[in-house]
Amino acid sequence: MSTVPLAHFLYFALALFSIGLFGVLARKNAISVLLGVEMMLNAVNINYLAFAKYWNWNSLTGPVFVIFIIAVGAAEVAVALAIVISVYRQFKSANVDEVHALKG
Amino acid sequence: MIQYSWLIPALPALAFVLIALLTKRSKGLSASISIGVMAVCLALSVCLFLHLLALDPAGRVFAMNWTWLSVPPWQANMGVLIDPLSVNMLLVVTLVSLLVQVYSLGYLQDDERLSTYYSYLSLFTASMLLLVVSTNFLQIFVGWELVGVSSYLLVGFWYFKPEAAEAAKKAFVVNRIGDVGFLMGVAAIGMTFNNFDFTQVEALVTQGVAHGTYTSGFVSILALLLFCGAVGKSAQFPLHVWLPDAMEGPTPVSALIHAATMVAAGVYMVARTFPLFSADLHAMTVVAYVGGFTALFAASIALTQDDIKRILAYSTLSQLGYMMLALGAGGYTAGMFHLTTHACFKALLFLGAGSVIHAVHSNDIWKMGALMKPMRVTGVTFLIAALAISGVPPLAGFWSKDEIFAAVRDSSVPGHQWLLAAAVFTAFLTAFYMFRLFFVVFLGEARSPQAAHESPKVMTVPLLILAVLSISAGWLNWPGWDAFSRFVYEGPAPHPESFDGVLALFSSLVALAGLTLSGLFYYWKVFSAQKAADRFHPLYLLLKNKYYVDEFYGWLVRKFTWGLASLFDWLDRQVIDGGLVDGLGRLTQDLGGLLRFTQTGSVQNYALVILAAVAVIYLCVSF
């Protein structure tokens, strides 16, 4: 049985992280930014699991972290969506470029 | 007997506390406590005096000390020093205080703050008595400052009068100027001798000068620093300006200040520390010249003043000048003798003036006149005091003044013949202005709008007692008997004053000449004072305005204060406010202005910065 080598997981995670980062930095829509954040989180999850699998499958540290990240990510999305909604109500827009009331 | 002597300063202090804390409500009770305590003090002083008299002259010095603070190598004591000098002062202070307190009952009977007044009087006397019985320089300084504080309270007793408040402030501030010198002197003595005790320091000085450990110049610097305090307290030129203004207080207080409890302190201190002064002729010369100059200077001002108390105030200055002159000339007993006789007649003059003011409700001598008829007791006692201060034989002032002349004549101070001339001329002026005052106030035509009446007995009895003393106090030094000199004399007296018939005759002629000239001007009106004033108008103005010393000080203080103030104003505005406070503010603002460019408000920019930062950190860590 041919196994997928560790490097492939890492390349995949890197690609996912970079796409997420691009979404966070470059997209205008707040929802898209949130999607980017989620993608970055999941890229990290893949790394955790890949290292757990290839280095020490007996240790549960990596998978437990992944569970935590998923939980925290869910909570974060709940808060973030609530913020996006109230930002929309305030500015009549969900475009992050137009929300710069804290400009110094 | 001696072991109870500490009660003399302690009792009035206790009376002060009692009146201030407990009996303030009852005017009668407060006054009786104060007067009763003073009577006990006088009785104790008389007992002490009799006790000392019974002893052998060599063994008349007693000192008791209690440790107050001990900071090795220094030890600060509170103690009681009983010797002929201090007993003499105790008698003067308690007697004058008692009479003044009795007199105040009549003078201030309607004042609603009578209790406060008596508590202050008790404090005043207690401080002076503490000063008199001091055994050391620290204790005398404590008494000295307490005298200053209580005189401040009493001069400003009618604090709601702006002049009284000003005068109290002036007295306090001017005295502090002299006290700086005094304090430096005390500190220097402490540093040099590691000791504050009068007797020990004096012994150390005498030995040190004899063995050459200390140069006499050094000792004279110590003495002159102490003398600064005496110049302030005894109102010698150039710190004399507070005394004439201090008459804004109630008149009995003026009597107390001028006769016993305040200005005498400076003279007493110089007498107490006399060995320091007599160690070097330079110190003595300064003392003699300051005294002689003050005597002449103040007497000339008194010629032109119109306020009865002001004339008396300048006469006090002049007489204090005599005392300092006597001490400086080496006439230790002459100075103390004049202090004693002066206390009698000056208290009498002030209390008499108080009686007059009480009757006519004015201080201006030109609003009085012909008061002899309605106020016989006051008039006659005032005449006695005026004769005494003018030096007419055989009253008290004649004897003491004559000893001063003798002391100055035989003095080794350079230029003493000039001092003698100044002193004799001052005697002439004294007779002139005292009788100008007497003739204008008590004789001539009546100028007072209301009918004057004699003061109550409580005021006239002290006058009578003082009048008897003003006549007889001088006889203590009757030529050949010299009871006072033999009593107060202690240790090496540099000058045994002797009565001199020629000098006495001359000085009494001078006094009579002044008296007669004054009569020609103001009683018989042979000469017109107005014409004389017009003839010598610039001189008259100069005297009338007290040589412009107050104005000069005002100008000096203003210039100095304004200069200093504008320097500090510039420092505060430009350096402190402009440089430090505003500068810090501006720095923060400018830095903030720079940093605000980083705050775009766009979340994505921040995220980019975070990314860049992570990248930089990664690069840093990996290479």
How far is the C-alpha of B567 from the C-alpha of B585, rounded, in Å? 24
Nearest CA in chain A to B602: A100
Instruction: Supply the pLDDT for residue B600.
Output: 84
Query: Is residue A83 one of the residues assigned to a domain?
Result: yes
Instruction: Supply the pLDDT for residue B500.
Output: 73
Query: Is residue A58 one of the residues assigned to a domain?
Result: yes
Q: Provide the token pair at A14.
A: 């890197």
B577 or B482, higher pLDDT: B577
Backbone angles phi, psi at B241, to 5 degrees: -65, -20
How far is the C-alpha of A66 from the C-alpha of A51, rounded, in Å? 12
Please, what is the average pLDDT of chain A?
89
B598 and A104: CB-CB below 8 Å? yes
Question: Could you read off the pLDDT of B316-355 as tens digits, one per residue?
Answer: 999 999 999 999 988 888 888 999 999 999 999 999 998 8
With beta carbons less than 8 A apart as the criterion, state whether A96 and A80 touch: no
Residue A62, min C-alpha distance to chain B (Å)? 23
How far is the C-alpha of B391 from the C-alpha of B506, rounded, in Å? 11
Backbone angles phi, psi at B203, to 5 degrees: -65, -45
How buried is B487 (Cβ within 10 angstroms: 0-12 exposed, 13-18 middle, 19+ buried)? buried
Query: For the residues A80-88, what does the mean pLDDT come to?
Result: 92
Query: For the residues B138-164, what does the mean pLDDT come to?
Result: 91
pLDDT grade, residue B360 (50/70/90)?
confident
How far is the C-alpha of B340 from the C-alpha of B317, rounded, in Å? 15
How far is the C-alpha of B236 from the C-alpha of B258, rounded, in Å? 13
How far is the C-alpha of B365 from the C-alpha of B203, rounded, in Å? 51
Q: What percent of chain B has pLDDT over 70?
A: 98
Omega before B238 within 30 of 0, i.e. cis: yes
Q: C-alpha dihedral over B101, B103, B108, B113, to 10 degrees? A: 10
Q: From B185, B160, B184, B155, select the one nearest B170 (Cα to Cα).
A: B155
Instruction: Supply the pLDDT for residue B507.
Output: 86
With beta carbons less than 8 A apart as the criterion, state whether B70 and B76 touch: yes
Q: Cα angle vertex B181, ends B81, B150, to 5°?
A: 60
Query: Is residue A24 one of the residues assigned to a domain?
Result: yes
Concatenate the DSSP letters of all residues of B343-358 into one string: HHHHHHHHHHHHHHHH
Query: Is residue A81 one of the residues assigned to a domain?
Result: yes
Q: From B250, B353, B249, select the one nearest B307 (Cα to Cα).
A: B353
How far is the C-alpha of A64 from the C-alpha of A70, rounded, in Å? 10
For the cut 80, the answer to whether the pLDDT of residue B264 exceeds it is yes
With beta carbons less than 8 A apart as the criterion, state whether B82 and B61 touch: yes
Single-letter residue type at B264: A
Residue B598 near chain A (CB below 8 Å): yes
pLDDT grade, residue B524 (50/70/90)?
confident
Burial readout B158-179 (b: 16 or more C-beta within 10 A, e: otherwise) = beeeeebeebbebbbebbeebb
Please, what is the average pLDDT of chain B?
87
How buried is B557 (Cβ within 10 angstroms: 0-12 exposed, 13-18 middle, 19+ buried)? exposed
Residue A33 near chain B (CB below 8 Å): yes
How far from the centroid of its chain's Cα atoms is residue B430's Cα?
20
Q: From B61, B277, B279, B77, select the one nearest B195 (Cα to Cα).
A: B77
Query: Is residue A98 one of the residues assigned to a domain?
Result: no
Q: What percent of chain B has pLDDT over 90?
A: 35
Backbone angles phi, psi at A54, to 5 degrees: -85, -25
Residue B622 near chain A (CB below 8 Å): no
ipTM: 0.82
Of B595, B600, B607, the CB nearest to A103: B600
Query: For the residues B203-224, what does the mean pLDDT come to?
Result: 85
Ordered alpha helix ranges (H), B6-26: 7-21
**Cβ contacts of B600 on chain A, cutoff 8 Å:** 100, 103-104
Q: What is the span of the domain harbouring residue A19?
A: 6-91
How far is the C-alpha of B234 from the C-alpha of B258, rounded, in Å? 9
Single-letter residue type at A14: L
Of B595, B601, B607, the CB nearest to A101: B601
How far is the C-alpha of B272 from the C-alpha of B560, rounded, in Å? 36
pTM confidence score: 0.78
B24 or B228, higher pLDDT: B228
| Three-state secondary structure call for residue B332 | helix
Instruction: Supply the pLDDT for residue B323.
Output: 92
B601 and A24: CB-CB below 8 Å? no
Q: C-alpha dihedral over A23, A25, A30, A35, to 10 degrees? A: 30
For residue B466, CA distances in Å to B163, B257, B349 come to 30, 16, 9
Domain count, chain A: 1
Concatenate the DSSP letters of all residues of B523-584 into one string: TS-SS-HHHHHHHTHHHHHHHHTGGGHHHHHHHHHHHHHHHHHHHHHHIIIIIIIIIIIHHH
Query: Is residue A27 one of the residues assigned to a domain?
Result: yes
pLDDT grade, residue B498 (50/70/90)?
low
Query: For the residues B273-301, what does the mean pLDDT come to?
Result: 90
How far is the C-alpha of B299 from the C-alpha of B303, rounded, in Å? 7
Q: Provide the token pair at B511.
A: 């006094």
Long-range contacts of B164-173 (CB under 8 A, 24+ apart): B164/B248, B164/B249, B166/B245, B166/B248, B167/B242, B167/B245, B167/B246, B167/B247, B167/B248, B167/B249, B168/B246, B168/B248, B168/B249, B170/B241, B170/B242, B170/B245, B170/B246, B171/B242, B171/B243, B171/B245, B171/B246, B172/B148, B173/B242
Single-letter residue type at B120: Y
CATH code for the domain of A24: 1.10.287.3510
Q: From A53, A102, A59, select the one nearest B606 (Cα to Cα).
A: A102
pLDDT grade, residue B494 (50/70/90)?
very low
Backbone angles phi, psi at B420, to 5 degrees: -65, -45
Question: Could you read off the pLDDT of B399-451 as tens digits, one per residue?
Answer: 888 888 888 888 888 888 899 999 999 999 999 999 999 988 888 777 776 77
What is the tally of helices (H) and strands (E) in chain A? 3, 0
Query: Is residue A86 one of the residues assigned to a domain?
Result: yes
CB-CB neighbours of B584 under 10 Å: 10
Residue A87 near chain B (CB below 8 Å): no
Query: Which of A24, A40, A98 to substitute to test the interface with B, most B CBs within 10 Å?
Result: A24
**Cβ contacts of A100 on chain B, cutoff 8 Å:** 600-602
How buried is B366 (Cβ within 10 angstroms: 0-12 exposed, 13-18 middle, 19+ buried)? exposed
Instruction: Supply the pLDDT for residue B45.
Output: 93
**Cβ contacts of B602 on chain A, cutoff 8 Å:** 96-97, 99-100, 103
Residue B593 near chain A (CB below 8 Å): no
B604 and A25: CB-CB below 8 Å? yes
Query: Is residue A23 one of the residues assigned to a domain?
Result: yes
Question: Could you read off the pLDDT of B97-135 as tens digits, one per residue?
Answer: 999 999 998 888 888 888 999 999 999 999 999 999 999
How buried is A61 (Cβ within 10 angstroms: 0-12 exposed, 13-18 middle, 19+ buried)? exposed
Question: Could you read off the pLDDT of B554-569 as tens digits, one per residue?
Answer: 888 888 888 999 999 9
| Three-state secondary structure call for residue A95 | strand
Q: From B334, B338, B356, B330, select the one nearest B263 (Cα to Cα).
A: B338
How buried is A46 (Cβ within 10 angstroms: 0-12 exposed, 13-18 middle, 19+ buried)? middle
For residue B150, CA distances in Å to A103, B37, B121, B144, B268 come to 69, 18, 8, 10, 18
